[in-house]
Amino acid sequence: MSEKVLEIRDLRVTFDTPSGPLEAVRGVDLDVSAGELLGVVGESGSGKSVSFLATMGLLPARARVTGSVLLAGEQLIGASNKYMRSVRGRLLSMIFQDPLSALNPVHRIGNQIAEMLQSHQDLSKRDAEKRAIELLDIVGIPQPSERATQFPHEFSGGMRQRVVIAIAIANNPKVLIADEPTTALDVTVQAQILEVIERVQERFGTAVVLITHDLGVIARVADRVNVMYAGRNVEQGTIDSLFDHPSHPYTRGLLASLPGPGKQRLKPITGFPPNMLNPPKGCAFHTRCEYAAEICKLDLPELQTFGDLQTACVRVKELPKAEIRV
Amino acid sequence: MLRYIFRRLAWSIPTLLLVTFLVYLALRIGTNPVESYKRVNPRASRAKIQQYIDVNGLDPNFVQGYFKWLKNFITGDWAPSIKGRREVWPALKDAMANTLRLGTAATVVGIFFGLIFGVLAALRPGGRRDVFINTSAFVGISIPPFISAILLQLLFAVYWQRWFGFSLFPTSGVYPAGHTGFDLFLMLKFMALPTIIVAIQVIATYSRYMRSSLLDVLNSDYMRTARSKGISERRILIKHGMRNALIPVVTIAALDVGSIVGGLIITENIFSYPGMGLYFLKSFGEGDFPLLMPWMVVIVASILLFNLIADISYAWLDPRIRLE
């Protein structure tokens, strides 16, 4: 396996809310290797975005973050603001969900890209603007030199997301975090944006973390997958093994709820995600799990190797083989 | 852009005509200018009265009369005031200058501090500083100027005199009685109290505008994008935050300046400050039609003009707005 660029260990994020502390991320372990495309799946509130906002140091000050995040060997948790500023945009950058609001409406596109370049590289304004035009070309925006002088409202949603990607890759970061980059877009545009991300990853060797709730997106582009539930990693492995023989009951449920050829009915996961102010004792999924037993209510299950997957389920060896058709 | 401005200016002419006609009607019906003239000049001859009616366009037929007034107004054939037969233009010009001086000083000081306080409040919403600024702003808006003016007059004139033997700021007029010519220091001294009174309200209003506008912007997604670029907090606040937060505030400010020309009626009255507000109160009290009509024209024109300025500045600050 190639070198690890991002190593997350026992990451915990707690928000103080009027109704008490809310632990949104409860001990996540996760590795990203150089040049790979890691998918992170989970439903809303599973802590997938919060984990990576914490990695970027972009959470509000009221969030308490503990654990360890090593980026190319450097610790990010507890690092100074100044150091985090030098990391953001240079080593780590992020693409956000809604391209319509992610760009500043009053500044020109070229200027917004040049700002990213100039904040980390010693470039003249002119060189930065030239480079910005090249970046627009790389992400597939036609007539980049004219488009650079335009404002965000003159771009369509898909084009704006390309601009956001151009900003994110401007300084050739080691890790690019894409937080639901296609959720707000049309299906046809989604495919184009995924292609841009893949192209960038291949061309620059950037490691990409693709956060999404859409397993279809993951299946298309990811090398490895992390499945998150209630602020924990419940299963991880390569894309093939996870889609072929998922072990964790939650992953099975997710795959069973996907439409596919030959499927007569979709099988939803019953119940609701847990209230994170008061998560269930033991395995957080036991309230919705069809294989739940008394033992599941005792302790939080840790990830353990099971075949070619790592699964956080105490009963994983006793479960029947999954019957999944995707 | 130029075409737009030109068209807006062209459109303001019919607006001006309509509004002045309505004002003319209101004054004719509400004050009966001819009766006022007779009351002020009880020994005026029949011919004098007829001349007054002619030059002011006070014919029994309102429409005919209005156009007569309009013709005389445009050609510069303005009637003198009914009391003392004063020239109207010099009086109006002085009142405008005084009000603009007071209004500009108060607005500049007020908006400057208002914006600073608004930004300070928005940076830590819910914090002690925010609560203090918000509460003060609320108090500032709630205290009517005639209360705060009297309190300040007591403090800086009456009590100051008692404690230190002289009064810090005078309480009325623009210059001491009998003063002639220009004297910057004296002028500022006389302007100080009314300026503070007006500025308190401007500060209170604009700190609240700025706070809410900046809070909106600070919570927006593009601020997170800016932060994810790793640029400094100061640059994020100024280039991305303030630039957006100021758009609505500047627009409101332009509209407010337009209405200031109408005079700060309460403040000018308390301080006997001879501006547009006092001009209006006096001439309206005496039913002085020749003084009132030009005042109205100036007010309407300035509101129209500053509305246009507000629209232009909005389009200039926000690239999403196109002036068509």
Per residue of chain B (324 residues), give pLDDT as tens.
Answer: 788 888 989 989 999 999 999 999 999 998 888 888 988 888 888 898 998 898 898 988 999 999 999 999 999 889 888 887 888 999 999 999 999 999 999 999 999 999 999 999 999 998 999 999 999 999 999 998 889 999 998 998 888 888 988 888 888 888 877 777 788 888 888 889 999 999 999 999 999 999 999 999 999 999 999 999 999 999 999 999 999 999 999 999 988 888 887 768 889 999 989 999 999 999 998 889 999 999 999 999 999 999 999 988 988 899 988 776
Q: Is residue B81 part of a domain?
A: no
We report the CATH number of the domain holding residue B166 as 1.10.3720.10
Domains of chain A: residue spans and CATH: 4-222 (3.40.50.300), 228-311 (no CATH)
Q: Is residue B36 part of a domain?
A: yes
pLDDT for the residue numbered B1:
78
The residue in chain B having the minimum alpha-carbon distance to the alpha carbon of residue A173 is B229
Q: What share of chain B is helix, strand, coil (3-state, %, to 5)?
A: 75, 0, 25
The residue in chain B having the minimum alpha-carbon distance to the alpha carbon of residue A166 is B229
Amino acid at B40: V
> Cα(B289)–Cα(B286) distance, rounded to whole angstroms?
9
Give the residue numbers spanning the domain of B51. Answer: 16-74
Task: List the one residue out of A45, A46, A67, A36 whose CA is nearest residue A176.
Answer: A36
Show residues of chain B in contact with A105, CB under 8 Å. 222, 244, 318-320
Virtual CA dihedral for B231, B232, B234, B235, nearest 10 degrees? Answer: -20
pLDDT for the residue numbered A32:
94
Among B30, B58, B74, which residue terminates a domain?
B74
Q: For helices B289-317 and B46-56, what crossing angle results, to 10°? A: 10
Q: Cβ A85–B319 below 8 Å, yes or no?
A: no
Check whether residue B197 and residue B306 sit in a common domain.
Answer: yes
Q: Is residue B196 part of a domain?
A: yes
Q: How many domains does chain B have?
A: 2
pLDDT for the residue numbered B77:
87
Q: Is residue B192 part of a domain?
A: yes
Check whether residue B41 and residue B182 sit in a common domain.
Answer: no
Q: Cβ B319–A153 below 8 Å, yes or no?
A: yes
Q: Is residue B306 part of a domain?
A: yes
Q: Is residue B2 part of a domain?
A: no
A115 touches chain B (CB under 8 A): yes
Beta A309-311 vs A232-238: how paired, if at all? antiparallel
Check whether residue B147 and residue B232 sit in a common domain.
Answer: yes
Check whether residue B196 and residue B63 sit in a common domain.
Answer: no
- Coil, strand or helix at A181: coil
Check whether residue B171 and residue B288 sit in a common domain.
Answer: yes
The residue in chain B having the minimum alpha-carbon distance to the alpha carbon of residue A55 is B228
Show residues of chain B in contact with A120, CB under 8 Å. 230
Q: Which of B225, B232, B243 sits opposite A96 (nearest CB)?
A: B225
Q: Cβ B221–A94 below 8 Å, yes or no?
A: no
Q: Cβ A151–B232 below 8 Å, yes or no?
A: no
Amino acid at B280: F
Check whether residue B148 and residue B27 sit in a common domain.
Answer: no
Check whether residue B164 and residue B254 sit in a common domain.
Answer: yes
Q: Model confidence over A79-123: pLDDT tens digits?
A: 999 999 999 999 999 999 899 899 999 999 999 999 999 999 999
Distance from CA of A135 to the nearest CA of B (A): 16
Q: Cβ B228–A93 below 8 Å, yes or no?
A: yes
Question: With a cut of 70, which residues of chain A have pLDDT below it?
Answer: 1-2, 322-326
Show residues of chain A in contact with B126, CB under 8 Å. none
Q: For helices B88-123 and B289-317, what crossing angle results, to 10°? A: 30
pLDDT for the residue numbered A323:
62
Check whether residue B61 and residue B156 sit in a common domain.
Answer: no
Secondary structure (H, E, C), B243-310: HHHHHHHHHHHHHHHHHHCCCCHHHHHHCCCCCHHHHHHHHHHCCCHHHHHHHHHHHHHHHHHHHHHH
Check whether residue B119 and residue B187 sit in a common domain.
Answer: yes
Asked if A116 and A102 touch (Cβ cutoff 8 Å), the reply is no
Q: Is residue B11 part of a domain?
A: no
Check whether residue B135 and residue B232 sit in a common domain.
Answer: yes
